[in-house]
């Protein structure tokens, strides 16, 4: 099974639409993501610039061409504004697995439904349309906000990659690995649908 099948089609949900990360969206993405001193790029790399996002768009093209990943722009259905970006990564058709990562939410959409909606749609796509048996996440050990958000989904921590990278500020990063497997998806799905239903799409889920 090819996990990139239908990857250039939008994924449409009740509150959010995931659009393939194409060049036509570049200026729109930059306009809502920059400047952002508290954003993923600023905190991790200090590179909250158009060139940083240019790399994400170029990576999306490269990943898709190789069949290893798909980039998405997250569009809020109510406002019709771009609310962030996220990726399917490490697509492995043989082992029916993928990773969700490089999620960056625009400042005005943090602590709204966007992160929860995006994860719900991406997990649903992975398990129900791409027939995955495992979806994984990686997170910086010191990023407690993202760790709580991933754990809140119902993902389980499976280990630590120690001293994975030296960051620009000199800090040595440890990565934690989380995953959800197919037999856990029905309960995770129910939990996420409850979050979104009870809050009418305004659910607060940290990024």
pLDDT at res. 197: 87
175 three-state secondary structure? strand
CATH architecture of 11-198: 3-Layer(aba) Sandwich (3.40)
> Are 28 and 84 in contact, with CB atoms under 8 Å apart?
no
Average pLDDT, the chain: 88
Residue range 19-70, pLDDT digits in tens:
999 999 999 999 998 877 666 665 565 567 888 889 999 999 999 999 999 9
Residue range 100-132, pLDDT digits in tens:
998 889 989 988 999 999 999 999 999 999 999
| Comparison of pLDDT for 177 and 206, the residue scoring more | 177
DSSP classification of residue 109: G
First to last CA, the chain: 31
């Amino acid at each position: 099974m090819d996990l990139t099948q239908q990857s250039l089609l939008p994924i449409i949900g009740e509150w959010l639409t995931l659009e393939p990360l194409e060049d036509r969206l570049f200026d729109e993405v930059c306009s809502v993501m920059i400047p952002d001193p508290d954003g993923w790029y600023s905190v991790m790399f200090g590179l909250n610039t158009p060139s940083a996002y240019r790399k994400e768009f170029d990576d999306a093209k490269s990943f898709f061409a190789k069949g290893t990943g798909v980039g998405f722009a997250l569009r809020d259905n109510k406002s019709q504004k771009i609310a962030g970006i996220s990726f399917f990564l490490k697509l492995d058709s043989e082992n029916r697995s993928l990773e969700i990562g490089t999620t960056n939410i625009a400042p005005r959409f943090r602590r709204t439904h966007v992160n929860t909606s995006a994860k719900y749609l991406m997990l649903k796509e992975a398990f129900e349309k791409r027939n995955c048996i495992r979806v994984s996440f990686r997170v910086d050990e010191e990023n407690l906000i993202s760790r709580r958000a991933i754990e809140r989904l119902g993902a389980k921590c499976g280990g630590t990659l120690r001293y994975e990278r030296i960051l620009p500020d000199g800090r040595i990063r440890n990565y934690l690995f989380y995953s959800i497997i197919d037999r856990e998806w029905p309960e995770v799905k129910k939990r996420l649908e409850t979050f979104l239903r009870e809050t009418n799409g305004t659910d607060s889920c940290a990024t």
